[in-house]
Structure formats: C-alpha cells, structure tokens
Amino acid sequence: MAQRVVFIDTKPFWDFDYGPTHPLKMWRLKLTQELQRAFGLLEQVEIVEPRMATDEEVLVFHEPNYLEALASADEGIWLPSLIGYGLGTGDCPVMKGVYTASMLVAGASAQAAEFVLEGKAQIAFNMAGGLHHAMPNYASGFCYINDPVVAIYKLLQKFERVAYIDIDAHHGDGVQVAFYSNPKVLTISLHENGRYLFPGTGFESEMGEGEGFGSALNIPFMPYAGDDVYLRVFDEIVLPALEKFKPQAIVTQLGADALHDDPITHWNLTTHSYLRAIQAFKDMNLPWVALGGGGYNIANVCRGWTLALAIALDVDLPERLPEEWKQLAQKYGVYLDRLRDLRPTESTSVVRADTERVINWLKQNHPLLS
C-alpha cells in the first residue's frame, strides 16, 4: 500500500521577493509545484496550508534579541542596528514581509514534523524549507530562521534519535551548530569543500564535541566532483553511518544546487546521484520530513524536487515533460527538455584522489565508521 504523503502548499511563498539581483527566486517554487501538478503527483498527496511558527518553536535555537530584530525588519525598512544581526546584507536583504515569510517557512517545517510525529503521514514535504544557514543570532546565506532545526527539535519530542542528511552543495552549518554536542541528532552534510564555497566550513575533521562527538559527519568534495565519487561516498560513508546510528526519523535537506550548471556552485552531479540519494532516504522506511533548500538553476530545482516527490509516492514518471508546463516555464525563461540526465558524470583524477583521501580519513577517524 502506498504511504501517506503530506505536501505543504508553497503558494504563500510564490510572490515573496528577495530583489531583482538576488539569486534566490521564490517563483521557482511555483514552477516546481506546477510541474508536480502537471504530472498528476499532487492528486496523490494531502495538500496542507502552512502556518506561522510560534516564538516558542523558533526560540529553541534562535536568540530572543535576534527574533525581535527580525520582527522589527518586517516593514522592509533597514536600520543600522540590524547589520549586527546579518540583516541588510547582499545575501540577506531586508524586504517587506521578511519576518512573516521566515516564520511561515519555519511553521511549515514544524507542521511537516508534526504530521510524521503524530503518525498522520509517513512522509511530509516542505519545499519552501531547508534554510540551513540561519544562526542563533544572525541571518546568513539567504536564511533568516533555521527551519530544519525547528523540525528536528519537534521530532525529538517523540524520537530518541533523529538523522539530518543535507545534500545541498553548501555545508549545513547552522544545523550542525544546533546539534554539535547533542548525541540524539546525527547531522550529515555532503557539500562542496569550504575552501572553495560558502560558508567555508564542513571539513571532515568536524565530528561533534563532548557527548555529541561523532554526531556530525561531513563529506567535502572538490569543485566539479561527478557522480562516480558521490555514489561511492554514499555507499561507503553515508549509508553505513546511518545504519550504525539507527535513526528513528529522518529530516533531509534536498538542495538542488549540487546538480550541474548551477550558477553559484561548481558541482558536476546529475540526477543519477540525486535519485540515488532520494531513493536511499525512501528505502529507510522511516518517518521522513523532506525539505527543499538551495537551487539557483531553476530547471534543476523543478526536476529535482519533482523527481523527489515521485520517489516518495512510488511513481515512475515518464521522461517527456508536460507541454502545458513547458509553455508556462518558457514565460519565465526556463527551458527543460529532459527530466533525468542521460549519463552519469566522471570526475578528474585530482577530484578522485581527494575523495579517496576523505573516505580513508573518515573510515579511520569517525566514531560511526571506524
């Protein structure tokens, strides 16, 4: 029998605008949801309207003075006092509704967690979520409220061990900070090496501290890494670590910026890697909160998250894209011919050697692998 899947409606976010020069386009959520609809996937989910997060839900991680500053920015008026909270930078501009939209994203992830926590759904999707860079007292990397952290705390009300797996091209730094000394939460992040990409962290030697030593697992990749090294890491590092940790629920951040031709990252992954990861999450057969994340090549976002929802629903999508959707996408200047990439990519010898080094180091030093 198909498992019940809840889908948090992204419509309330479609018109939210970071500004004309900002790479994060919220209308990507509209194009993605329309593609999911055109393929008939939304007929098979329960669509739920998002709600605002409560102060209590976000104060498990964020500091009260930061939340106050963010609330004061909701009118879209920047004041010099906000800059200390990372508000009003190029990455995290102050725009009208910034607090309302951020609390709605966080509320949506909290809702997703509630559905799986209460057993009302096996899988809950919040594509607007996955804002993994937000820190306790400052906004960072397009993220204002850390909704994955909110969702994980919610799941900890019932589950003893929760695994967070982040496949965005950027290191999931904010989530790692939240649980760095917490043995109940394993944070796994696969990302482009911090020497080459924001936020500059996520090295293999970051493994947690104190009681939580071993509860962080980082796998950095050199720029232009291909499917060959990614799939190897998945099989040799990620899956064995999850097997050892034995989570009772998972939260995934499914950023689509690790796919090839993203304008702000430098990876060379195809849908072969992406599908392998999503299928592995599905096969764990656990309560699963699936969040969105980065993705600045809009065509990749549309196909990545549509394929992810199809896997959650056990639906095998045809390769051909619905004509009505292609016409809509063209109005936005988005062109997509294939849902899946034809062939997996291969890495250069330099990338392969570096991944080999990381794999060996982790196998020798990480408590979940050694």
The one-character DSSP state at 233 is H
Q: How far is the CB of 253 from Zn ion (least distance, A)?
A: 9
- Long-range contacts formed by 90-97: CB under 8 A, 24+ apart: 90/22, 91/139, 91/140, 91/141, 91/142, 92/139, 92/140, 92/141, 92/142, 92/143, 92/144, 93/18, 93/19, 93/22, 95/17, 95/18, 95/19, 97/16
Of 50 and 255, nearer to Zn ion (C-beta) is 255
- At residue 263, the 3 state secondary structure works out as coil
Does 294 interact with Zn ion (rule: CB under 5 A)?
A: yes
Does 194 interact with Zn ion (rule: CB under 5 A)?
A: no
Site for Zn ion in 19-48 (CB under 5 A): none
- Stretch in the footprint of Zn ion (CB under 5 A) among 10-18, 122-130, 253-261, 311-319: 253-261
Q: Which residue, 292, 248, 311, is CA-closest to 127? A: 292
Does 107 interact with Zn ion (rule: CB under 5 A)?
A: no
Return the residue of 257, 262, 341, 354 that touches Zn ion, per CB under 5 A.
257
Q: How far is the CB of 264 from Zn ion (least distance, A)?
A: 8
Of 67 and 105, nearer to Zn ion (C-beta) is 105
- b/e map 166-203, b = 16+ CB within 10 Å: bbbbbbbbbbbbbbbebbbbbbbbbbbbbeebbbebbb
Residues 286 and 124: their CA atoms lie apart, in Å, by 11
Q: How far apart are the first and last CA of the chain?
A: 38
Of 88 and 294, nearer to Zn ion (C-beta) is 294
Q: Is 191 a catalytic residue?
A: no
Site residue total, Zn ion (CB under 5 A):
6
Does 192 interact with Zn ion (rule: CB under 5 A)?
A: no
- Stretch in the footprint of Zn ion (CB under 5 A) among 160-168, 239-247, 313-321, 359-367: 160-168
Does 141 interact with Zn ion (rule: CB under 5 A)?
A: no
The beta-strand segments (E) located in the chain are 5-8, 46-48, 123-126, 162-166, 185-192, 216-221, 249-253, 288-291
Q: How far is the CB of 183 from Zn ion (least distance, A)?
A: 27
Return the residue of 168, 227, 341, 354 that touches Zn ion, per CB under 5 A.
168
Helix, strand, coil shares of the chain, percent, nearest 5, are: 40, 10, 45
Of 34 and 168, nearer to Zn ion (C-beta) is 168
Of 122 and 265, nearer to Zn ion (C-beta) is 265
Identity of the residue numbered 66: Y
Does 166 interact with Zn ion (rule: CB under 5 A)?
A: no
Q: Are 297 and 228 in contact (CB under 8 A)?
A: no
Does 227 interact with Zn ion (rule: CB under 5 A)?
A: no
Q: How far is the CB of 204 from Zn ion (least distance, A)?
A: 19
Residues 223 and 220: their CA atoms lie apart, in Å, by 10
Site for Zn ion in 321-360 (CB under 5 A): none
Does 170 interact with Zn ion (rule: CB under 5 A)?
A: yes
Choosing from 62, 133, 170, 260, the catalytic residue is 133
Of 30 and 170, nearer to Zn ion (C-beta) is 170
Residues of the shown chain interacting with Zn ion in the complex, contacts defined by CB under 5 A: 168-170, 255, 257, 294
Residues forming the active site: 133
